[in-house]
Structure 1
Amino acid sequence: MKNHTTSITILETSDIHGHIFPYLYGTKEKATVGLGKLATFIKSVRKQTGNVLVIDNGDLYQGTPLTYYYMKQARHLPNPFVSILHEMNYDAAVIGNHEFNYGMEPLRKAQQDAEFPFLSANILDNRTKKPYFGLPYFIKVLPNGVKAAVLGVTTHYIPNWEKPSHIADLEFKDAFTSTQNWISYIHKVEKPDVMIVSYHGGFERDIQTGSPTERQTGENQGYKICQEVKGIDVLLTGHQHRKLAGTINGISIVQPGMYGGTIGQVTIKLQRNKQRWTVLNKETQIISMEGIEADKNVLSLAWDIESKTQSWLDQPIGTIEGNMLIEDTFEARIREHPFIEFIHRVQKEAAGVSISATALFSESQRGLPNMVTMRDIVSNYIYPNTLTVLEITGRDIRLALERSASYFAVNQAGLLSVNPNFTTPKPQHYNYDMWEGIDYVLNISHPIGKRVTSLLFNGEPLQENKHYQVVMNNYRAGGGGEYTMFKNKPIIKEIQIDMTELIADHFLKYKTIKAACNHNWKVIVD
């Protein structure tokens, strides 16, 4: 048989986080986000070539008010994200960590509704020890005869973040080891021409130098997979919200950012030799959706839920007396802000305790205007967190404050700045907590681990061995954000109502909230 060549195209989306429409919910401004724009691009690629694989890499349907409204008000209807992925002819979807945020019931329903497989080789049923979602991988023979295998893997760090009740029947096996084992099996049994791994996880090291970019916790193992697992042609990644395209140890890698503003593309050229296709070369790209019009057919599939979401968002719910707007997020983290004080107030009242910890999650939070709507609430509290009351020691509180204090650095001008460990490779502003119910001083001139210079409770020094009840969100209570001092501590109470609902209920109860601060903490450089 005469040798001839062909090519296949792999398109990867990841970390869509509930974005379908090309605008931002907090401001209604147009934005380069959403599945609508991606649909237009994907359809154009399909017109050019039929030899296409389209894969979503996880964290698909958590993160926007539309998702929240669907999960809370319209869950009996078909999942709009599954319907849209059908319209876009996706080949598979990998399970991400945020897929569990609303519990297993909507995830099972989404899987039942889907005509494409949900993949995760390393999430097992803890009774049968088999992949919980059924298929660990799938095989597709493309029109040109190329046989492609796609293995789905998920960061096994999920138990460090998720509510135990949401993952009670699951066992999370090491992603690296599972990848290694399944790749060997797939090559032996399936003998694919191209081996693709879609990993909802990222890179723990710089992809050029190999230098560590984070603590080696196992949350991200992409670099190790590339260096140590043989037989992979392409590694699709996500989770870190980075835009990456390149090669590590001969393996083509992409990570397509977040919210659908960009897409990862890998083009593989192959040559036919006797009965086998062999890879000649591979090209990786991150392609922006800037300037692309959203596909109206895709938008129409979610429009009914979207219009109800918009009406719900614009409902006035209460008023603020004073100023609770955030003009500078960094300032709000070094000097107590009325918005943070308000969140503490809601948490403490809901939990019935006097000590509270919370964070300012992102750089996009702008606080609350004088007339507050549901749009303002969900734009400021962007995660579907519930609250947990832990019983912890004074020593645990001190260790947690030291972890928070590591968020800061002192720059060359002697001024406060953000420690790069909290911005690179992924922004982690949500891992800096501020506390209410205790009085404390963080002196950033001191070495990390020795920055808490004053720590009082009711005007007296906090006792290291005494137990205190503290309310925080469920992510932090599970040790998320490297707050290991909270792991496996006694749970006194769980408030099974999302924080957005608790905030709304607080407004419905009090109608008007006064913006105020009691200035119980300071961050200083001496």
Structure 2
Amino acid sequence: MKIRACIFVSMFLLSGTLSAQHEEVKLKIVQTSDIHGNYYPYDFILQKEAVGSLSRVHSFVQKERESYGDNLILLDNGDILQGQPTAYYYNYMDTASVHVTADMMNYMGYDAGNMGNHDVETGRAVFDRWTRDCHFPVLGANIVEVSTGKPHFKPYEVLERDGVKIVVLGMITPAVPAWLSENLWQGLRFDDMEETARKWVKTIREQEKPDLLIGMFHAGQNAVLMSGKYRENASVEVARNIPGFDIVLMGHDHARECKKIQNVAGDSVLVIDPANKGVVVSDIDVTLQMQDGKVVSKQIDGRLSAMDAYEPSAAFMKQFASQYDTIQQFVSKKIGRFTKTISTRPAYFGSSAFVDLIHTLQLQIGQAEISFVAPLSYDTEIKAGDVFVSDMFNLYKYENMLYTMWLSGKEIHDMLEMSYGLWTAQMKSPDDHLLLLREEPREGAEDRAMFRNFSYNFDSAAGIVYTVDVTKPVGEKVNIISMADGSPFDMGKRYKVALNSYRGNGGGELLTKGAGIPQDKLKERILYSTDKDLRFYLMQYIEQKGVIDPQALGQWKFIPEEWTVPASRRDYELLFGR
């Protein structure tokens, strides 16, 4: 495991020599982020040992507390409520018990949490219940009640250790409305991070006078303007433009980082991101020299520490053994049978049984003419034979609802153009790549080929017959031949289109940037929405059918095939091996 380390040293020495009242205070700050329901050392979806988990983090924290005691500060940076069956079960099925996520975090002694976009995606009933069950504050300075103009969550938390005052300011990416249906966050708004930080840092400085200021932001480091109005992934911008932060804890983008930057005042700020699933944690040592009760110097050392060196905590597993057994029973319920193995791997090279099963269901439930679906898991499969609840989390990763929207033929075409522009290269010779691949792996990723863009934005369509000419530039690749029933496809006609709520709210910008629909007009296009997530309907569909014979619909393909078929084999081996 590669461990990156960074050191930030900032010295502020007062005049005069250190007196007898000189004291050194050592703090340990540990950050988890984007745990995504990985609490136990077992992946209930993949049915195998989990590389990262809260149980391993607990072992690490307990060991460090032997040295630091209460001076260890444990923080979580959001997206903890969604991603594994354990979270799903306690979000939506057992709503009477103390939420297991809160129970676990209370047991581990978290000092503060922060809201993530996938926590918001669970809906207000779920996330408000979870935060009530937590014995520590869950932060969100820029999540504001529309009716009062005040933060729905506590904006910051003040912690005192050995005479040192630490303030943690929490914020979330403001792009939540670009992904999530408003019914999930009714009555709230998500303010710009930099504007919010400017306001609250001023308040914190004046009222709290902290010795150490930590920003905990559920946002990544590479800022982009999303849907023309939301400043997404602005953590580094805030660290640079708002003086006062000593440390900025990042999350959301699942990308490991540990480095120092210089803010506009010339001071250094440590920015650090442990990526996801608890595989590593942000591990920060802070040493403060005190004189007469005041901080006269600071040293901050940051690193990413790997959890695979720590065994799952036996005490943690004993404490939550009954919940573990409950989830094992839940995911082991048989719901049907597949006649053949399906995988996301073929979905990147043409029509596939995996994606087309979801297309078929979306067309049926949404009473739509056309469907859009992307493979939400990069590389997963469901084997032939009995199908269980656990398989449904492979088939459909997120708790998205289904929308039916009206789109014009041209908007459908333009949306596909953007999707395949993110997905495919422009082949200029038979030896070129078919797929648009990164030149180098992301930090912390395996040493293998990877897509340049996120595959959950690689939407294909069903209900229409079309080709994708990969020798053409972006904007000229897609040729829609007809509707699936052979009737003409009309660029000027309105069609009923089934897609998930993430896409329908502007996620991935395929509808806004691609189809050219303004963000604030998307809501007007919605004709129908399910009241439960798509996974629920997939389970229901399979249970009703009993036996599913998954088939590729064969409604689209890459051309020219004399180039794309050999290129598909080459790129497949680069991505997945032989």
When normalised by structure 2's length, the TM-score is 0.85
- 1:325 aligned residue (339, 342, 346): 342
Picking from 109, 125, 138, the partner of 1:118 is: 138
RMSD: 2.3
How far did residue 368 of structure 1 move? 4.4
| 1:466/1:215 CA distance change after superposition, 3 Å | closer
Matched, 1:23 2:36: no
Q: CA–CA distance in 2 between the matches of 1:192 and 1:443? A: 59
Of 187, 198, 215, 1:169 maps to 187
Distance in 1, matches of 2:272 and 2:453, equals 19
In the superposition, relative to structure 1, how do residues 436 and 508 fare at CA in structure 2: closer, same or farther (>3 Å)?
same
Counterpart selection for 1:517 from 547, 552, 558: 552
Aligned to 2:233, the other structure's residue is in SS state coil
Per-residue deviation, 1:309: 1.8
Contact 2:413 2:480 in 1 (8 A): no
Asked if residue 351 in structure 1 is aligned to residue 378 in structure 2, the reply is: no
- The one-letter amino acid paired with 1:44 is K
1:218 and 2:244 are equivalent in the alignment: no
Contact 1:357 1:436 in 2 (8 A): yes
**1:132 equivalent among 152, 165, 182:** 152
Matched, 1:397 2:408: no
Q: Is the 8 A contact 1:23 1:31 kept in 2?
A: yes
2:285 counterpart of 1:267: yes
Instruction: Report the CA distance between 1:310 and its aligned residue.
Output: 1.3
Q: Which residue of 2 aligns with 1:182?
A: 200
Of 309, 312, 315, 1:294 maps to: 312
Q: How far is 1:213 from its partner?
A: 12
- 1:106–1:69: structure 2 CA closer, same or farther, 3 Å change rule? same
Structure 1 residue 8 corresponds to structure 2 residue 8: no
- What is the Cα deviation at residue 421 of structure 1? 11
Q: Residue 7 of structure 2 corresponds to which residue in structure 1?
A: none
AA at the equivalent of 1:248 = I
Shift of 1:29: 1.7
Segment of structure 1 superposing worse, 8-17 or 287-296:
287-296
The answer to whether residue 348 in structure 2 is matched with residue 316 in structure 1 is: no
User: Secondary structure of 1:218's partner?
Assistant: strand
Q: Structure 1 counterpart of 2:544, which letter?
A: K
Query: Residue by residue, what CA displacement relative to the aligned partner does 1:64-94 show, whole Å, maximum 9, x if unpaired?
Result: 0111122232111111111111111111000
Query: In the TM superposition, what is the alpha-carbon distance from 1:518 to its structure 2 partner?
Result: 2.7
CA distance in 1, matches of 2:530, 2:227: 32
Which of 399, 405, 408 aligns to 2:424? It is 408
Counterpart for residue 449 of structure 1: 475
Per-residue deviation, 1:188: 1.6
CA 365–354 in structure 1, closer or farther in 2 if over 3 Å, else same? same
Checking the alignment, whether the CA contact within 8 Å between 2:58 and 2:312 is kept in structure 1 is: yes
* 1:487-526 C-alpha deviation (Å, 9 max, x unpaired): 4142111111222221111122211122222311112356
Q: Within 2, Cα distance between the matches of 1:276 and 1:427?
A: 48
2:60: which partner in 1? 41
- Is this contact kept in 2: 1:214–1:421, CA < 8 A? no
Q: Alignment identity in percent?
A: 26
**Partner AA of 1:172 in structure 2:** F
Query: Aligned to 2:29, what secondary structure does the other structure show?
Result: strand
CA gap 1:213/1:182 in 2 versus in 1, 3 angstroms: closer
The offset of 1:218, in angstroms, is 1.4
Contact residue 25 and residue 379 of structure 1 kept, 8 A: no
How far residue 299 of structure 1 moved from its aligned partner, in angstroms, is: 2.5
The Cα shift of 1:336 comes to 0.9
Deviation of 1:367 after TM superposition, in Å, equals 3.4
Cα separation, 2, equivalents of 1:294 and 1:204:
33
Q: Which amino acid is 1:349 matched to?
A: Q
In 2: Cα distance, 1:372 partner to 1:281 partner: 54
- Conserved? CA contact 1:422–1:429, under 8 Å: no
TM-score calculated relative to the size of structure 1: 0.93
